[in-house]
Structure 1
């Protein structure tokens, strides 16, 4: 219920923001903003999983192709009491993983080639338990919607900037070019803050749920150590709006500002796992 309310608030906020931005171009702009907001809200809810998988260039794998991957997820899904999600592998060389989908019946889990190369199967089990915890806790929808909202905000801000450059703003005396310019600057910052606000607590809870599922936090703790080092060593061009979906920050190697980090510090996550705080 709490996550459903958060999702509804995000979608409502996106629609309101689109209408506000459209108001800089008169009543017609408000209507266009409303239509864009409705389209983005619907797309965020129904297609966020497909967009995430496509963005990662991931390919679905069968039990014949990766039997151990499927066996681990089948066991974890039974422990969690959820349907088995679809399983994907991304060609991304950075070691990482994410889950997506609007509910447990429409969920997908994706691991990267980089992760498969540096983790052993016990550590991979810890990672997959974390991702299935996101599915069971029903918080992958809000992360996917937040990513879509962030991308939508950034897109609308870019469109507003384009319109300002080419004279698309209102020409009447009520036009406020300084307000429009301020909106263009602040909208991407708002997108980052939205994701930061909802992502950190989700990661702590998914870590704890994974440890409880396995009866130990050590496999996930070891995996996080390797994934953090791998993210720093292998930078990738992940859309910042989608970074919060991953188990560790994929932009770690690009010197992203700590102010807008969507993930809690990995050292703190490892400390909690090894201290038994999840019990």
Structure 2
């Protein structure tokens, strides 16, 4: 079985996230009473679907992604068609966006995937490097890890909001309770994200390895990562928000908190593995 390590991590993290999700349902039942359990059950199931759709829509909207015209980007469409056929997945929708930095990300699932490439990336990279980046993103769709990331981020946010309101409603000092609630909610969200990060960095290594396999060499992706990192270091601001950055091939955020809770392994380590 290919990628056993990734699949085992996804199962483990999915189980933990389901536990957090179930805990939220129990809190809702304790607040509203057991008589509303059918509504809570249906609501929780519907929320998963809505969060998945919302996460996909939000990622595309955050960067202003637009459809990539086939007549203008014929070569890229051909690359994606060939790679998709080799990976045995349906060709995803292709979109282009001005992100402020060279980058790319995938969202959605097999059969309904979307790959977004920044206009800046197409300007910086050579065709073989673009192909390697696209192969990396298609690997995320093939491995189904995009869905786990989107839902994991959503559940973490939901847990944070729930904890925040529990603290606020339990207190009797509005200003202090709001501050404590915000701190507790943020810490709770970060705690849940620790489990999501258990697969986040590993999934990048797996997608890198798949890209190397399908393009025949690790050199094009290694070269692309070097160029993306160098270009990103010269840019102070981008259109990529925190949620979308976790899906990108490279996270250019330089803040201390984002370094501690990094969604991507160091570029140097990724390059070493690609060329090892």
- Same fold? TM cut 0.5: yes
1:70 aligns with 2:72: no
Alpha-carbon separation, structure 1, partners of 2:242 and 2:164: 15
Superposition map of 1:14-93 within 5 A: 14-19=20-25, 27-28=31-32, 34=40, 37-93=44-100
Counterpart in the other structure of 1:228: 229
* CA contact 2:99–2:240 (8 Å) conserved in 1: no
Residue by residue over 1:50-104, the C-alpha shift from the partner in whole angstroms, topping out at 9 and shown as x without a partner, is: 2321222211112113112211111111111111100011121111111111x21
Counterpart in the other structure of 2:203: 202
* CA contact 2:160–2:184 (8 Å) conserved in 1: no
Alpha-carbon separation, structure 2, partners of 1:177 and 1:118: 46
Segment drifting more, 41-50 vs 60-69: 41-50
Using the size of structure 2 for normalisation, the TM-score is 0.80
1:192 aligns with 2:193: yes
Using the size of structure 1 for normalisation, the TM-score is 0.80
* CA contact 1:244–1:262 (8 Å) conserved in 2: yes
Residue by residue over 1:197-248, the C-alpha shift from the partner in whole angstroms, topping out at 9 and shown as x without a partner, is: 1201100010001101011000000001111222332232533233211111
Alpha-carbon separation, structure 2, partners of 1:181 and 1:88: 36
Alpha-carbon separation, structure 1, partners of 2:233 and 2:161: 28
1:9 aligns with 2:15: yes
- Residue 99 of structure 2: SS of its match in structure 1? coil
- Residue 111 of structure 2: SS of its match in structure 1? helix
Alpha-carbon separation, structure 2, partners of 1:182 and 1:42: 28
Alpha-carbon separation, structure 2, partners of 1:55 and 1:153: 23
* CA contact 1:98–1:245 (8 Å) conserved in 2: yes
Counterpart in the other structure of 2:111: 105
Residue ranges of structure 2 left out of the alignment (5+ in a row):
1-6
Cα–Cα, structure 1 residues 155 and 27, in superposed 2: closer, same or farther, change >3 Å?
A: closer
Alpha-carbon separation, structure 1, partners of 2:120 and 2:20: 34
* CA contact 2:160–2:187 (8 Å) conserved in 1: no
**How far does residue 158 in structure 1 lie from its aligned partner after superposition?**
5.4
Counterpart in the other structure of 2:241: 239
* Corresponding residue pairs, total: 262
Alpha-carbon separation, structure 2, partners of 1:170 and 1:257: 31
Superposition map of 1:117-128 within 5 A: 117-128=123-134
* CA contact 1:3–1:138 (8 Å) conserved in 2: no
**How far does residue 21 in structure 1 lie from its aligned partner after superposition?**
6.3
**How far does residue 133 in structure 1 lie from its aligned partner after superposition?**
1.1
Alpha-carbon separation, structure 2, partners of 1:38 and 1:19: 10
Cα–Cα, structure 1 residues 232 and 9, in superposed 2: closer, same or farther, change >3 Å?
A: farther
Alpha-carbon separation, structure 1, partners of 2:67 and 2:230: 27
